[in-house]
Structure 1
Amino acid sequence: MATLPVDDLAITRAFGPHLSARTRGNTSDEPERLVKTHCCFCGQQCGIQLKVRHNEVIGFEPWEDFPFNRGMLCPKGVKRYLQGSHPDRLLTALQRDPAAPSGFRAIPYAEAIESAARAIARLQEQHGPASIGVLGGASLTTEKTYLLGKFARVCLKTPYIDYNGRLCMVSAGAANKKAFGIDRTTNPWSDMVGTEVIWIAGSNVAECSPITTNYIWQAREMGAKVIVQDPRITPIARTCDLYLPVRPGRDAALFAGVLQLMIENGWIDPAFIEQETVGFDEVAAYCRGWPAARAAEVTGVPERSIRQAAELWGTARSSFLLHARGIEHHSNGVENALGTINLVLASGRIGKPKSGYGTIVGQANGQGGREHGQKCDQLPGWRDIRNPEHRRYIASVWGVEEQDLPGAGVDAYEMFRKIDAGEIKGLVSICFNPKVSLPDNQFVARALDKLDFYVAIDFFLNDTAYHADLVLPGSLQEEDEGTVTQVEGRVIKINKAVDCPGEARRDWVVIQDLARALGRPKGFTFESPRAIFEELRIASKGGVADYSGITYEKIERQMGVFWPCYSEDPRTGAPTPDHQGTPRLFEPGSYNPVAKGAGRFYFPDGKARFNVADYRVPIDDVSDEYPLFLTTGRVVSQFLSGTQTRRIGPLVQHYPEPKIELHPRLAAKLGIADGEWATCETRRGAITLRAMVVTTIRPDTLFIPYHWPGDKSANRLTVAAQDPVSKIPQYKVCGCRLRRADGPPTYAAEREPQQ
């Protein structure tokens, strides 16, 4: 199956004319109603009120009562309403037709569903249930992710389901599970305000999660010291108290060096370590190999700064540590995250007032999207698909035999290796754009072309869907209702604002229509997201991620409910309809069902685990041939693979093209001026972009944002190395080289002025 031709400029050309009137604020009609809901982008899930008229979202109003953002929004949130009426919105199903100008022709929705079901059934009859793979998304509502996991395992009976959250928080999740036995941020963000020190490791909060920046600013106004660890002087680092300019891929070494200094100087809590944890002696023995001088040599952070960080963190009475993809997107991402947790546990402050630890979630439902069944090794409630007891319980909820549930599958990238090897013949994807978002994405494109059949469900024809045989029109966030779990662990409600246009359908309806067309409708006859959530409540009951006490009404009454929230008291089994949820984990005297009263942490003995956070040199590190570090990330006006934000005119105007960010010293050495074309090359390929010469990056490091496809895609360059535990890709470091380009690349040549 060959890919269809894609004009890389087609999407960009569509922005301006369509959105110009709205961009100028020329919307004279008053709204018929305001719908309280949430932003469709990052894991903060800020509250917003959408203005609706004639079944169209025409603007927004601040929702000042919602406790997380109090009406504040970032540039993406302010402009998110502009996507709904974009001309690229899928209004019909599409069937592959190379003879058509676009490569597709419109077909009736019902015909497309029947055609997809016939193709899936044919492949499964010929090659078995496991010949079909399913890829989901961490921006889907929790109801959809639950249904998708059930669809894969009950309807398709395939083990091969995973999701694009594999590219997001899985290293943090694996580390949390190893250390705490539960995977959730420990505290609401409001606990930052009043803390003494905040450590931000590998997170450009000002651009990736701006409302979090406001909490940090509030804390700073009340006297908090702010430590920022990053290869770039990000906006939050420009005013921090201590900046740690770590070399890409060296974070675990930095944490080991800091912890060693804390141990040497007595800046740890021996009583807490003795009473509440296990494994400290092994960690302490490992850290003895990381004196400050060695840590400085390996990390590139001055020794005096490492010592200052250890003292600030070690002597504080309260603290909050945050990290994100900067330390997680590595082939030792789990160790990096464990390194932060070791600092948190050694301080003894976890569970105390104004002291917390958390991972900044990237995608809209990055937390809830991995708790209830679309992850390759998990069943609803954060249950383990390999655990017989967990399997039996979920099988009883789903009305199937335990032995009929497939076992664990593989991660999203490994699924493409199986496609390449011919083991997976067909693919169903929903709200996932792996051709842009996966590393070494030219391999991904080649694998897609090997599929016998591919059906994509989405609201825009994303870059990956150009490889599809069928495209089914799904729903935007504002066209459906459901729940998501935001960065703090707060379950919130998305409210429907408008109906799906044309023949587009809500995603959960599309999934159920496929089950019906396959002749396997049992368990897929839900009439609403609420009905799906009611089954999810039962399925999650007794799991670590227990949502059984959460209802739509409780969410709206409390403006969100922190899980776990129990329908029955885990101590007595008595009904607890008024349980308010768990805003703070691990408080002294708190109860959890795993320890059954024996302690605060989610292990049978109730104790947290120290884990040796081993430093390893990154795979595909710098070398004589590739002497520079390449790192990738976001810019404030774009999001993930850009499927949505590259269709919002003002956001495109803010940052229309990716650029190569480099230090003036490196630019002078290579003879590259600001704004000139430069070519970055790795062992996998090369791309040519404009140079952006800045003083806010290490002289040995390049930065390229990853939101663009094709010849502008940073993931043409990245390496497909993965963490052995979490399977997260190593986006944040690989060896590269840079040179001045002879001229503009092919995609840009037509826009260059004539000399």
Structure 2
Amino acid sequence: MSELMLKYFREKQQKVETEKVYNAQCPFCSMQCKKQVIEQTIVTRKRYRTTGVDNPTTGGRLCVKGLNAYQHAFHEDRLRYPMQKIDGAFQPISWDAALQLIKEKIPALQKEYGKNTIGVYGGGSLTNETSYILGKFARLALGTKYIDYNGRFCMSAAASAGNKALGIDRGLTNQLDEIPETKCIILAGTNIADCQPTIMPYFEEAKRNGAYIIVVDPRETATAQMADLHLKVKPGCDNAAANAILKCIYDEGKADLDFIEKRTEGAEELFVHLQGLTVEACAEEAGIPYQELEKAARAFANAESGMIFTARGIEQQVDGYLAVRNFINILLLTGKIGKKGSGYGAITGQGNGQGGREHGQKADQLPGYRSIDNKEDRKYIADVWGMKEKDMPGKGVSAYEMMELIGRGDIKSLFLVGSNPIISNPHATMVKEAIQSLDFFVAVDMFISETAEYADLVLPAASYMENAGTLTNLEGRVTLREADKKAPGESKNDWEILSMIAGILGYGTQFSYQSAEEIFNELRLASKGGIADYFGITYERIRQAEGVFWPCRSESDPGTKRLFEDRFARDGGRAELLVVPLKNEHPKEEVSQEFPLYLTTGRVMAHYLTGVQTRKSSNLNARLFESFIEIHPVTAKRHAISENTLVTIESPRGQITVRSRISESIREDTVFVPFHWAESQNVNMLVEGRLDPVCRMPGFKRSAVRVSPYQEQQ
């Protein structure tokens, strides 16, 4: 072939083959893995591939969700225009018409029923900028006290425990890169191998370096398979396991008395409590052989350094706050915190579960982790927002309690941003009925989710590839997500949508933002002097350092990579040890002859939360397109259940049908069902609405159920 012809074919190929590179961060778990999505166009056909980008947290690693997250961002079902429900069906309308509808409906409802007839419900995957503006939108533009978010079901137990015991709630008190240096690790109620796969190399390296790893979980998960010791706890009895470990440490004289005397308070009361316990009684309550608990206690106490990580397994309980406090007690009793290779970590679930709870989405919270009940905090934020302190609403209620108020008719309108409460809430049947009863319901989302299906108006939101902003990962590192992709159709960034609505309600001056960075600079000021102080963090600093740790109080402050080296953040600088009774004062649902099995719920690797995004990914959905029940072979035989057959699961609140997986990895008295599916597979239909009295966390991880082979209705 001549040189001329080769040149001709090369030029022709260049005309029909183009490539675009989109910079992004994975939108799913709290590792916030950096990545690039490469879009290749050949003639009119597009192909995509994803590559990891080196970064201090994950070093360029991606899991199967991160590799395939582009699929929902490019999905044909993406909302491109505002959609109004007219005669029972959604129809596209203009933004002007959508805003006019809100302008008519909201003031009229508030005039008739009062400001607090409006609820605002956010999500833990929103950027820090949107989380901040959502709180401001609720309290200033709407004037309502009712705002909360789905992170209530994720981090509230650990957040409350960290704040009370240590004075700060930050996911990890140490950097991730200290994990390989620690000598003993307790992973309590966390299946990181499936839920945060890109964190696993830290623990695998620790194991290679000689660390002893203890996993507390009712199931032998992929994480438990890595452990040196697996404590197969009965669902909801983690606190009893912690008490047994504390008792053994105390009895064998392994407590760090010097650390306890200098840096804690409450030790005397805790010692009296431990004197009244026996390891055997605690072990019986926990459903674990006492010898295994003694082995765990000795391994942790004798190690020169140690870390404890908790997650939803122990936190999503009606005593989740106390369970986390008891595991923090273990750290404090052994002096293993505030040192290199020693500390506490709450494994954050959602992409911005950390930042999302710091800047005003929670019912009791103002930006910077300030308290809405504190007059000085209220005055400070009111001044930043240009309003009077007396006009700022007070504390509202938790996410699930908002659903109860909607069901009772106290809340008649709802703004929903990036969440799917019909699937994620306990007592899901009641929640669905409540949502259907709303007078006016506005949802902001990329798709028409199971909840948005009942909205009067759905506003199209940008995806993670189109919406730039900051997020805070599980170690407290504030990162910047660059977003290169243009949003499809007339979809907009969620902060833009909220600003537009605030404008038509008369607050355009306070919501005149032109960029996410402009919002972040206001957030910095709002957080200044608070517990979660971001004042010293700027977009430029994040770019230069690839993330900055909070608290960071000035631009000359390098950020705080390890907390509590010299003092704790509580008044007086001491951490608080707390007596946690063996028998909970707030009883959990017990099994009975009618409902003889414990049900516990959780995630699988291929899906995320309620599945709205991952079920739009053909690659991820192909891995697991339906839910399942994991059941022990002895239990399956007792209830006449065969492998890979449909099973009906019933609780006092309802029933679902899923497919069976028989496995010796689970306790005989327990079954497991993931929560990523809707309708007849929605396991949260079975979960009761009882809440932790401190943090208002529902008890997702323990319900009483019965199982039987599915029988088709005649």
Aligned residue for 2:75? Answer: 86
Query: Which residue among 319, 328, 331 is the counterpart of 2:306?
Result: 319
Question: Take 2:182 and 2:496, find their aligned partners in 1: how far apart are those partners?
Answer: 46
1:125 and 2:111 are equivalent in the alignment: yes
Alpha-carbon offset, residue 46 of structure 1:
1.1
Q: Which amino acid aligns with 1:344?
A: L
Q: Which amino acid aligns with 2:272?
A: A
Question: Take 2:69 and 2:138, find their aligned partners in 1: how far apart are those partners?
Answer: 31
1:614 and 2:581 are equivalent in the alignment: yes
Alpha-carbon offset, residue 64 of structure 1:
4.3
Query: Which residue among 540, 544, 550 is the counterpart of 1:563?
Result: 550
Q: TM-score, normalised by structure 2?
A: 0.95
Q: Secondary structure at the match of 1:31?
A: strand
Q: Report if the CA contact (8 A) 1:334-1:725 is conserved.
A: yes
Alpha-carbon offset, residue 417 of structure 1:
1.1
1:366 and 2:333 are equivalent in the alignment: no
CA RMSD, Structure 1 to Structure 2 (Å): 1.6
Q: Secondary structure at the match of 2:38?
A: strand
Aligned residue for 1:647? Answer: 616
Aligned residue for 1:455? Answer: 442
Query: Which residue among 644, 659, 662 is the counterpart of 1:675?
Result: 644
Question: Take 2:193 and 2:226, find their aligned partners in 1: how far apart are those partners?
Answer: 12
1:580 and 2:558 are equivalent in the alignment: yes
Q: Secondary structure at the match of 1:564?
A: coil
Deviations 1:528-558 (A, max 9, x none): 1000000011110000100000000100111
Deviations 1:22-67 (A, max 9, x none): xxxxxx95533352x3110011111112325689996454344201
Aligned residue for 1:25? Answer: none
Aligned residue for 1:5? Answer: none
Deviations 1:686-742 (A, max 9, x none): 111111101110011000000001011001111111101110110000111111222
Deviations 1:367-398 (A, max 9, x none): 00000111100001100000001111111111
Query: Which residue among 134, 139, 147 is the counterpart of 1:161?
Result: 147
Give the direction of change, closer, same or farther, for the CA distance of 1:374–1:151 in structure 2 (3 Å limit). Answer: same
Q: Report if the CA contact (8 A) 2:22-2:485 is conserved.
A: no
Alpha-carbon offset, residue 353 of structure 1:
1.3
Q: Secondary structure at the match of 1:32?
A: strand
Question: Take 1:210 and 1:33, find their aligned partners in 2: how far apart are those partners?
Answer: 25
Aligned residue for 1:498? Answer: 485
Alpha-carbon offset, residue 520 of structure 1:
2.5
Deviations 1:197-230 (A, max 9, x none): 1110000111011112111101001110110000
- Give the 5 Å matches for 1:661-700: 661-700=630-669
Aligned residue for 1:517? Answer: 504
Question: Take 2:657 and 2:467, find their aligned partners in 1: how far apart are those partners?
Answer: 40
Q: Report if the CA contact (8 A) 1:435-1:441 is conserved.
A: yes
Unaligned 5+ runs, structure 2: 1-15
- Give the 5 Å matches for 1:81-480: 81-98=70-87, 103-184=89-170, 185-480=172-467
Question: Take 1:162 and 1:635, find their aligned partners in 2: how far apart are those partners?
Answer: 26
Deviations 1:47-89 (A, max 9, x none): 1123256899964543442011111111101100111221210
Question: Is the deviation greater in 158-167 or in 41-50?
Answer: 41-50
Question: Size of the alignment, in residue pairs?
Answer: 694
Question: Take 2:412 and 2:60, find their aligned partners in 1: how far apart are those partners?
Answer: 47
Q: Secondary structure at the match of 2:511?
A: coil
Q: Which amino acid aligns with 1:33?
A: V
Aligned residue for 1:535? Answer: 522
Deviations 1:74-128 (A, max 9, x none): 11011001112212100111111245xxx21111122112112211111011111
Give the direction of change, closer, same or farther, for the CA distance of 1:288–1:56 in structure 2 (3 Å limit). Answer: farther
Q: Secondary structure at the match of 1:406?
A: coil
Q: Report if the CA contact (8 A) 2:143-2:393 is conserved.
A: yes
Q: Report if the CA contact (8 A) 2:471-2:480 is conserved.
A: yes
Query: Which residue among 686, 702, 713 is the counterpart of 2:682?
Result: 713
Question: Take 1:404 and 1:132, find their aligned partners in 2: how far apart are those partners?
Answer: 16
Q: Report if the CA contact (8 A) 2:36-2:53 is conserved.
A: no
Q: Which amino acid aligns with 2:137?
A: F
Alpha-carbon offset, residue 351 of structure 1:
1.2
Q: Secondary structure at the match of 1:678?
A: strand
Give the direction of change, closer, same or farther, for the CA distance of 1:30–1:229 in structure 2 (3 Å limit). Answer: farther
Alpha-carbon offset, residue 399 of structure 1:
1.1
Give the direction of change, closer, same or farther, for the CA distance of 1:247–1:193 in structure 2 (3 Å limit). Answer: same
Q: Which amino acid aligns with 1:31?
A: E
Alpha-carbon offset, residue 449 of structure 1:
1.5
Q: Report if the CA contact (8 A) 2:183-2:211 is conserved.
A: yes
Q: TM-score, normalised by structure 1?
A: 0.90
1:72 and 2:61 are equivalent in the alignment: yes
Query: Which residue among 632, 637, 643 is the counterpart of 2:601?
Result: 632
- Give the 5 Å matches for 1:479-490: 479-490=466-477
Q: Which amino acid aligns with 1:134?
A: V
Alpha-carbon offset, residue 431 of structure 1:
0.5
Question: Take 1:672 and 1:557, find their aligned partners in 2: how far apart are those partners?
Answer: 57
Deviations 1:449-480 (A, max 9, x none): 21110000001111000111011111111111
Alpha-carbon offset, residue 578 of structure 1:
2.7
Give the direction of change, closer, same or farther, for the CA distance of 1:47–1:676 in structure 2 (3 Å limit). Answer: same
Q: Report if the CA contact (8 A) 1:680-1:736 is conserved.
A: yes
Q: Which amino acid aligns with 2:56?
A: P
Question: Take 1:436 and 1:629, find their aligned partners in 2: how far apart are those partners?
Answer: 20
Question: Take 2:434 and 2:197, find their aligned partners in 1: how far apart are those partners?
Answer: 37
Give the direction of change, closer, same or farther, for the CA distance of 1:352–1:345 in structure 2 (3 Å limit). Answer: same
Deviations 1:11-32 (A, max 9, x none): xxxxxxxxxxxxxxxxx95533
1:42 and 2:42 are equivalent in the alignment: no
Q: Secondary structure at the match of 2:506?
A: coil
Alpha-carbon offset, residue 282 of structure 1:
1.4
Question: Take 2:681 and 2:296, find their aligned partners in 1: how far apart are those partners?
Answer: 38
Question: Take 2:248 and 2:401, find their aligned partners in 1: how far apart are those partners?
Answer: 40
Q: Secondary structure at the match of 2:35?
A: strand
Question: Take 2:80 and 2:464, find their aligned partners in 1: how far apart are those partners?
Answer: 15
- Give the 5 Å matches for 1:598-609: 600-609=567-576
Alpha-carbon offset, residue 668 of structure 1:
1.4
Question: Take 1:248 and 1:627, find their aligned partners in 2: how far apart are those partners?
Answer: 13
Question: Take 1:341 and 1:489, find their aligned partners in 2: how far apart are those partners?
Answer: 18
Deviations 1:660-689 (A, max 9, x none): 110011111122111111111100011111
Question: Take 1:146 and 1:30, find their aligned partners in 2: how far apart are those partners?
Answer: 39
Q: Which amino acid aligns with 2:444?
A: I
Q: Secondary structure at the match of 2:480?
A: strand
Q: Report if the CA contact (8 A) 1:618-1:733 is conserved.
A: no
Give the direction of change, closer, same or farther, for the CA distance of 1:53–1:239 in structure 2 (3 Å limit). Answer: closer
Q: Which amino acid aligns with 1:358?
A: G
Question: Take 1:566 and 1:692, find their aligned partners in 2: how far apart are those partners?
Answer: 51
Deviations 1:133-180 (A, max 9, x none): 100111000000100100110111100000110110010000001101
Give the direction of change, closer, same or farther, for the CA distance of 1:64–1:626 in structure 2 (3 Å limit). Answer: same
Aligned residue for 2:21? Answer: 33
